[in-house]
Amino acid sequence: MRAIKTKKPFGLTICLLLTLSIFAGACKSYAIDWQELKGEHFILYYSESKDKDIAKDILDRAEVYYQRIALELGYPRYSEFWTWDKRVKIYIYPDRNSFLKATDQPSWSHGMADYKAKQIASFIGSEDFQESILPHEMAHLIFRDFVGFQGEVPLWLDEGVAQWSEEKKRHEMKAMVGGLSRTDSLLSLEDLMKLDIRLIRTDKGVYIRRIHTTKGGEGVLLVSGEQLIKTYYLEAVSVVGFLIEKYGSDGFATFCRQLRDGKSLEEALRFAYPSHVSSLKELEERWRDYLEKGD
């Protein structure tokens, strides 16, 4: 199942993708008398009358996040997108224990999402849910609703989009990526493409990864599993942020649309950014220049 890890590496929450499996039936396996609030694009379920104000606030924020995320990603507004019977369902359990029991999540989980059923689940009192987990999971849903599951969409791109949606953390994430760049601790984009971070199950041991140095040479990086995971997620959000900030939301939407339609990553880059990026190598060069200039 997909879960959100709440440990705070580098001083902020990194939301880890464990699997893409769904949590179908998660909201049925635990007997709760749900109360319902409806918005334009969401239906929110909560159980305790005393939590109505919190539930209303979550629903209002979800609607604001929806507009911002869709606009930033440059996705088209097509008819009945997340409206009426296509609205996303948000389940807010009364406490952590009921959430864990219903969803069978690990004890550290604070939230989860089902891409295909378009559902998000958390609980009253979940730390960082409204500011971090909610926009993160919504970005996953919006992104996958647009690109689907058929094209060759890199895992890092999916995670980078979700991390980028956490607007309040962008400055801190940019600073951390800048630090990794200055110390030649970034993975090469070629390595990022090949790495399936879901296979890194332990923070023990040493991993050897390929890097490109700031002087243009090649080298290797020795890192722990924990450091590798942190670097992967920070690098993913940084590349996504670079593409959106440097070349605009419309260009990013075109890039993602090409991936959805079956283009390879380099083909999609050439189509979306014909005057700027023609290969993965050139993307890395321009992205590193962006980091060095602190744009």
Three-state DSSP class for residue 273: coil
Domain co-membership, 39 together with 101: yes
Rounded to a whole number of angstroms, the distance between the first and last alpha carbons of the chain is: 37
Do 106 and 223 lie in one domain? The reply is no
Instruction: Measure the CA–CA gap between 235 and 261, rounded to whole angstroms.
Output: 25
Please tell me the predicted confidence (pLDDT) of residue 21. Answer: 34
Same domain, yes or no: 214 and 270: yes
Does residue 213 sit within a domain? yes
CA-to-CA distance for 70 and 83, rounded, in angstroms?
14
Tell whether 189 and 137 lie within a shared domain. Answer: no
CA 255 to each of CA 167, 222, 279, 284: distance values in angstroms, whole numbers, following the listed order: 22, 33, 13, 16
- Looking from the CA of 9 toward its CB, the CA atoms found within 13 Å total 16
Pick from 117, 101, 96, 148: nearest CA to 24: 117
Q: Are 166 and 135 in contact (CB under 8 A)?
A: yes
Among residues 84, 113, 147, the one where a domain terminates is 147
226, burial (CB in 10 Å: exposed 0-12, middle 13-18, buried 19+): middle
55 and 181 inside one domain? no
The last residue of a domain, from among 147, 177, 207: 147
The CA distance from 210 to 74, in Å, is: 33
Tell me: do 289 and 189 sit in the same domain: yes
d(CA 20, CA 248): 28
Query: For every one of its 295 residues, what pLDDT tens digit does the chain have, with 9 covering 90 and above?
Result: 333 333 333 444 444 433 333 333 444 445 788 999 999 999 999 999 999 999 999 999 999 999 999 988 888 655 567 887 889 999 999 999 999 999 888 787 888 888 888 899 999 998 889 999 999 999 999 998 888 888 789 999 999 999 999 998 999 999 999 999 999 999 999 999 999 888 886 666 788 888 888 877 888 888 888 899 999 999 999 999 999 999 999 999 999 999 999 999 999 999 999 999 999 999 999 999 999 887 6
The answer to whether residue 20 is domain-embedded is: yes
Cα 68 to Cα 58, 89, 289, distances in angstroms: 15, 19, 28
Residues 279 and 223 both lie in one domain: yes
Domain that holds residue 120: 9-147
Query: Token pair for residue 243?
Result: 């593409």
d(CA 111, CA 141): 14
Tell me what pLDDT residue 213 has: 81
Going by C-alpha positions, the residue among 245, 54, 101 that lies closest to residue 167 is 245
Q: What's the total number of domains in the chain?
A: 2
- Of the candidates 150, 122, 177, 145, the one whose C-alpha atom is nearest the C-alpha of residue 12 is 177
Q: Does residue 7 sit in helix, strand or coil?
A: coil
77's tokens: 């507004």
Residue 15 sits in the same domain as residue 137: yes
Q: Are 119 and 184 contained in the same domain?
A: no
Co-location of 165 and 286 in the same domain: yes
Task: Identify whether 84 is part of a domain.
Answer: yes
Judge contact between 230 and 187, C-beta under 8 A: no
